[in-house]
Structure 1
Amino acid sequence: MWAQTDTIKPSAIWPDTHGGHIQAHGGGVIKVKDTYLWYGEQRTRDLDTAYRYVSCYASKNLVNWTFKGNALILTRPDQNLRNWVLERPKVFYNKKNKQYVMYMHIDGQMVDANGQVNTASGYSYARVGVAVSNRAEGPFKFIRTFRPLGYQSRDIGQFIDDDGSAYLIFEDRPNGFHIARLSDDYLDVEKDVCLIPEHMEGGAIVHYKGLYYCIGSLLTGWTPNPNKYATAISLAGPWSDFKDIAPPEQRTYGSQSTMLLKVEGAKQTTIIYMGDIWKPSAQWDSRYLWMPLHIGDGQLALPQPRPWTINVKTGQTNTSQPAGNTIQH
């Protein structure tokens, strides 16, 4: 039996309103009117391996989430693609045409000209996929895959600026990671605003009190590492040097960044670090690390995770006193 709660507990099982562990890994959150929508990788056990799934959850308070169903169920998008993955889905809501647009990382091994699978390059496809829906919970209709502006694209992130303009963050292994503006209908990548020449993934951006803060994770696969941040007065840069967001020996408390969520309340604005605690051998049991950041004047720090509450109307948070190491790896 599910019991409503007002507390977010980093690294613990996070049940939805039906009592099931939330399956929205590598995801992102948007707010439409008074409802928050959380989309992510559906990794429940025993899924049909012929498909990949993106889940949708809804909440009014960022704590209690209702499963709205699998917004996207996708079969292999390219017949030459093998051992394929769908990762880090991010959804934008286009207010002009009232359409939801989903971006995702599509990757895998390609069949060569001789019909053989190129096993030497596991992530050789390196594209984004795009799908659309008129309803938040879907079903989303898959449109196409492509390489944004002709570049390789692996991990992706999303950013919506204060003026409503939408950006895709994508990791381009040869060059770094890009901040690119979407077209007016959000269906294409229109302009490369900045290439940050750091080899990082899990990119996320927030605009807070006149500064842009960008965070990212080093390229260590499933293994956690010290995530880092930089700042700039413009998305186009120049960006500062990257610094650790937490003590490096903590390896971001076992998590990897996926998004920076801005909650603008009547009394204060809170920036939430959204991270994934991956469990590669039991992916359905992967956890979440959400914590309000210490941020301002060019500084950003992820505090030691512990249970906390948030009032989304006021923007105020309350964090419990530490009681030893509560983080489970």
Structure 2
Amino acid sequence: MKYNSIRPGQVWLDTEGKRIQAHGGSVITVGDTFYWYGENKEKTKPGSGIWHWGVRCYASKDLYNWEDQGIIIPPDEEDESSPLHPAQYMDRPHIIFNQTTRKFVCWIKVMKRDGTQKSTVLTADHILGPYTMVQSDLRPLNMSAGDFDLVVGPDGKAYYYFERVHSELICADLTEDYTDVTGYYSTHFPNIQPPYVREAPAYFFRKGRHYMFTSGTTGYHPNPSEVAVAKSFHGPWEVLGDPHPYDTSRTSYNSQITSVFRHPFKKDLYIALADRWMPNLPDLAGEDHANGKGYQKTAEIYRRMFEPDTDFVMDEVHYSCDMNTDTSVADYVWLPIRFDGEMAYLDWKEEWRVEDYE
């Protein structure tokens, strides 16, 4: 099948007719080729004991049709202690290019079995690898680091935005080779606990302003995104509101933004890339999905779950807290960003074309 448009939320197949497996991912441009990479979830069926099957990458010239380039960071099937072992909770790879070292630098987060979250850093001479691990079990700034984004400024300096787990968002300067933090950092969006804590930071820069999309913390269940703006990498950040104001379900169109891609060959086209982790959520929640009550129930569960000094028993049958979500069939929601002054909006589109933008 050959595509000539982007269809948010619909099953997206590669040029071989297989589901694209690049979750929690990003798009990077090398020459005139786009590379879309992310978590390979092809084997993550409930009960399988497999959380990931490495990092997979696809190549495209048009952002519609993607050719599978294979697994660029393979799982380590032999060493159960390796951050790349399939049973380890490895998430959200981000790759940036270092002009000085000529290396592609990939950071991934790994939620350890003891509940802590640590980082692993790999480098390669080519976007497709092979990648060599240069850091593992890294606790940046001696913090538990969750969802994150990597950013390279126009001067080549790089920054690491990450969720200090269940607490706040951190902006940390990276070393010159991008493989560690320098120790300089700033703190943002402090919140007492989930579901209010912001995670999944997705950064972009436009017309002298720094932007950040974030989501709340409600597990796989989607929640209202927020967009914030700042005059510098380290803020301060001003929260502008929900970029999905017309979504009555309060679920960001049943998706979670993972990154923002600025089209390098267009005048002003920014695309929010998001995962739809629970495609069947409207069926599971029924009317409660469309009217937002499903999200409200989920948010309340997470509030009670993390409320200090409160005994809480998880309702295991509640759809919103089902950690047996079949992520192998998760879909994608890619939407162009519309700007009104400083505000960034994401309007729902059943189908759209890159060619419709200058």
**Could you tell me how far apart the structure 2 residues matched to 1:150 and 1:51 are?**
26
Identify the residue that residue 59 of structure 2 maps to in structure 1: 58
Q: Please, what TM-score do these two structures have when normalized by structure 1?
A: 0.83
Alpha carbons 1:126, 1:152 under 8 Å: kept: yes
Match 2:198 to one of 186, 195, 200: 200
**Could you tell me how far apart the structure 2 residues matched to 1:166 and 1:195 are?**
17
Alpha carbons 2:261, 2:273 under 8 Å: kept: yes
1:271 CA drift (Å): 0.9
1:264 aligns to 2:304 (yes or no): no
Match 2:131 to one of 113, 137, 140: 140
Alpha carbons 1:226, 1:249 under 8 Å: kept: no
Q: Which moved more, 1:70-79 or 1:212-221?
A: 70-79
1:306 CA drift (Å): 1.9
1:151 aligns to 2:155 (yes or no): no
**Could you tell me how far apart the structure 2 residues matched to 1:274 and 1:303 are?**
13
Match 1:131 to one of 122, 128, 134: 122
Alpha carbons 1:107, 1:127 under 8 Å: kept: yes
Deviations 1:221-246 (A, max 9, x none): 10000000111111221211351111
Q: Please, what TM-score do these two structures have when normalized by structure 2?
A: 0.77
Identify the residue that residue 255 of structure 1 maps to in structure 2: 255
Q: Which has the higher helix share?
A: 2
Alpha carbons 1:52, 1:86 under 8 Å: kept: no
**Could you tell me how far apart the structure 1 residues matched to 2:82 and 2:256 are?**
31
Q: How does 1:28-39 map to 2 (within 5 A)?
A: 28-39=26-37
- The AA in structure 1 aligned to 2:274 is G
Alpha carbons 1:216, 1:229 under 8 Å: kept: yes
SS at match of 2:163: strand
- Structure 2 residue runs of 5 or longer lacking an equivalent are 191-196, 279-323
Identify the residue that residue 284 of structure 1 maps to in structure 2: 328
1:190 aligns to 2:189 (yes or no): no
Q: Which has the higher strand share?
A: 1
SS at match of 1:284: helix
**Could you tell me how far apart the structure 2 residues matched to 1:228 and 1:103 are?**
24
Identify the residue that residue 68 of structure 1 maps to in structure 2: 69
- Structure 1 residue runs of 5 or longer lacking an equivalent are 111-123, 319-329
1:168 CA drift (Å): 1.8
Alpha carbons 1:177, 1:200 under 8 Å: kept: yes
Alpha carbons 2:41, 2:51 under 8 Å: kept: no
Identify the residue that residue 348 of structure 2 maps to in structure 1: 304
Alpha carbons 2:52, 2:87 under 8 Å: kept: no
Alpha carbons 1:82, 1:108 under 8 Å: kept: no
SS at match of 1:216: strand
1:252 CA drift (Å): 0.4
Count, aligned residues: 298
Identify the residue that residue 93 of structure 1 maps to in structure 2: 97
- The AA in structure 2 aligned to 1:196 is H
Match 2:40 to one of 16, 39, 42: 42
Q: For residues 191 and 272 of structure 1, do their structure 2 counterparts lie closer, same or farther at Cα, with a shift above 3 Å needed? A: farther
Deviations 1:185-221 (A, max 9, x none): 1111225443213421110111101111111000001
1:317 aligns to 2:357 (yes or no): yes
RMSD: 2.4
SS at match of 1:18: coil
SS at match of 2:202: strand
- The AA in structure 1 aligned to 2:72 is A
1:132 CA drift (Å): 1.5
Identity %: 29
**Could you tell me how far apart the structure 1 residues matched to 2:211 and 2:58 are?**
27
